[in-house]
């Protein structure tokens, strides 16, 4: 099922488990980018995949603007995080999804807006799989994550995620009470087979397969 009536062009593929994976694509992707990965990782979950609205240089799609690879447009990110939170709530209502069983699976730019959702609208997510994320901004106060499970998959050769930003992300999540599993591989920004295996095992351990 595809549509754009809830504020975002999106794809919905219904599953049987009662849980929903919110798929948040990386820079240059779209609502199709993570569908096959999501289905492989969580075969019984419903997949909800919105398309980012920002076009960089007129062609590269993202969820929020940036001024440079390591210089994010924070006011735009905050506004678009609020908009995405509204979409999640509206989609759950429109499609009959359990709003307490939405877990984000985000890569790169999509992982960063998933982090922003956890910091700014933690009530919208039951947890998250964050693939190559950074901490986009320091929260004014610790988020109330209350034991939400979060998997963080980083890489020590990722040019977009300095080591300190990675460590700051873990500190922010743990400071908010999240149940964080963190793995930092000897790899770059692209995902590896080991990342996919790790994510699948984590999802299975947390009841998402």
Q: Could you say which of 95, 121, 189, 206 is catalytic?
A: 189
Quote the tokens at residue 74. 């924070």
The verdict on whether 189 is a catalytic residue reads yes
Task: Return d(Cα 1, Cα 85) in angstroms, integer.
Answer: 20
Distant-in-sequence, close-in-space partners of 26: CB < 8 Å, separation ≥ 6: 33, 107, 108, 109, 110, 111, 132
Which is catalytic among the residues 25, 116, 158, 195?
158
Q: How far apart are CA 161 and CA 114, in angstroms?
A: 15
Active site residue 108: yes
How far apart are the two ends of the chain, measured CA to CA in Å?
Answer: 22
Per the residue annotation, which of 25, 108, 116, 195 is the catalytic one? 108
Q: Which residues contact 108 (CB under 8 A, 6 or more apart)?
A: 26, 27, 131, 132, 133, 160, 189
Active site residues per annotation: 108, 158, 189
């Amino acid at each position: 099922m595809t549509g754009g009536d809830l504020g975002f062009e999106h794809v919905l593929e219904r599953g049987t488990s009662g849980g929903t994976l919110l798929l948040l694509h990386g820079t240059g992707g779209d609502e199709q980018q993570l569908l096959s990965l999501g289905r492989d990782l969580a075969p019984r979950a419903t997949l909800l995949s919105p398309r980012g609205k920002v076009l960089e240089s007129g062609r590269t799609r993202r969820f929020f603007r940036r001024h440079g690879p390591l210089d994010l447009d924070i006011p735009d990110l905050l506004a678009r995080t609020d908009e995405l939170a509204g979409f999640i709530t509206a989609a759950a209502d429109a499609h009959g999804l359990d709003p307490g069983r939405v877990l984000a699976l985000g890569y790169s730019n999509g992982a960063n807006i998933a982090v922003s959702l956890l910091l700014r609208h933690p009530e919208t997510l039951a947890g998250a799989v964050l693939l190559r994320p950074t901490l986009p901004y320091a929260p004014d106060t610790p988020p109330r994550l209350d034991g939400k499970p979060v998997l963080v998959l980083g890489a020590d050769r990722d040019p977009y995620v300095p080591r300190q930003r990675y460590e700051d992300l873990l500190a922010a999540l743990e400071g908010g009470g999240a149940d964080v599993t963190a793995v930092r591989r000897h790899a770059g920004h692209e995902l590896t087979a080991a990342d996919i295996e790790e994510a699948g095992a984590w999802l299975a351990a947390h009841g998402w397969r």
